[in-house]
Amino acid sequence: MLVLDRVTRSFGGVRAVRGVSFTVSTGGVYGLLGPNGAGKTTTMRMILGIYPPDSGTISWNGHPVDAALRRRFGYLPEERGLYGRMRVREQIVYFGRLHGLTHADANRRCDEWMDRLDIAQYARRACSELSKGNQQKVQMACASLHDPELLILDEPFSGLDPLNAEALLRAMQALRERGTTLVLSSHQMWQIERICTEFCVVAGGEVRARGTLPELRRAFPTRTVRVSPDTPEIRAVFRRAGAAEQSADDEALAYAVSADADFSALLREVVAAGPVTTFDRAEPSLSEIYVRAVGDQPNDGLVE
């Protein structure tokens, strides 16, 4: 279990992370969400020991993260980097060995990962000769070869086409099935929603919201109701209920209705107001939760 307890970090006069706390259960997939400059990368770097926190503690299974523990972690940084002249196989094996694998073991696992990520045909090619997507796959293999207990992925999907993003998702699923705990950040909400079991929204260096998706939804103050047709009578019903109109198009009206509202009573009133072809109560999406949590002050910090 990864536990961050009131972790802070400043750079000069900039407070990049301000008392961030969250817990990631073993085997879970944790999504860190936040705008650029929110402090996600700094938080990840502190977990990996690249930066020591100014205050607060970070522990893995009850132990502070030290150099020995760090070798059992994996990291895919936001800014990708490979040795351009090094061959693909050599690069993957090198990083595996840096994480403590023997030469034979690293080679064997390298074959498995190259097959899994469909890059075996590039094994003897220099990394600089590969496309960006394939380079990203090589980096994923580098980060995962040693079957890390904790894998941290900073914006893993950025710059990937849908096929490569899907391949990366499959690799992450495979790691999860093998017991690896994943912490990842992404701006691609639909992808992060598919894989993550818990979320933490960070903005201005602070945690704005955290929990499982059902928990986050429960805490969300409104629900979206789509209704049609667009008639003055139906509009009047929603006005009386205190709902705010979100949008209107040819097909339907959308209202933000308080989560505590009696939706059955609302439906009865709408039906009583005239013929109704659509009445759809939607749970808030992760994107909506994110936008609301981040609010209008998304970026107080300057350091990502």
- Which residues bind to another protein, rule: CB under 8 A? 11-12, 45, 48-51, 67, 70-71, 73, 75, 77, 79-86, 90, 94-95, 97-99, 139, 142-143
Tell me whether strands 206-211 and 2-11 are parallel, antiparallel or unpaired. Answer: unpaired
Give the integer Cα–Cα distance in Å for 174 and 169: 9
Quote the least distance from Cβ 205 to another protein, whole Å: 16
**Ranges assigned E (strand) in 50-205:** 55-60, 63-64, 73-76, 150-154, 181-185, 198-203
Nearer to another protein, 87 or 235 (CB): 87
Give the integer Cα–Cα distance in Å for 94 and 83: 11
Quote the least distance from Cβ 77 to another protein, whole Å: 5
Nearer to another protein, 97 or 292 (CB): 97
Compute the Cα dihedral for 236, 237, 240, 242 and give only its sign.
Answer: negative
Quote the least distance from Cβ 79 to another protein, whole Å: 4
Quote the least distance from Cβ 90 to another protein, whole Å: 8
Nearer to another protein, 19 or 49 (CB): 49
Give the integer Cα–Cα distance in Å for 15 and 29: 27
Helix (H, G, I), strand (E, B) or coil at 160: coil
Nearer to another protein, 71 or 226 (CB): 71
Where do the H-state alpha helices sit in 147-248?
162-177, 189-195, 213-219, 232-240
Quote the least distance from Cβ 30 to another protein, whole Å: 18
Give the integer Cα–Cα distance in Å for 228 and 129: 55
Give the integer Cα–Cα distance in Å for 181 and 165: 19
Nearer to another protein, 95 or 122 (CB): 95
Quote the least distance from Cβ 49 to another protein, whole Å: 8
Q: How many residues does the chain have?
A: 304
Helix (H, G, I), strand (E, B) or coil at 227: strand
Nearer to another protein, 148 or 204 (CB): 148
**Ranges assigned E (strand) in 217-293:** 222-228, 244-248, 253-258, 278-282
Quote the least distance from Cβ 182 to another protein, whole Å: 16
Nearer to another protein, 85 or 132 (CB): 85
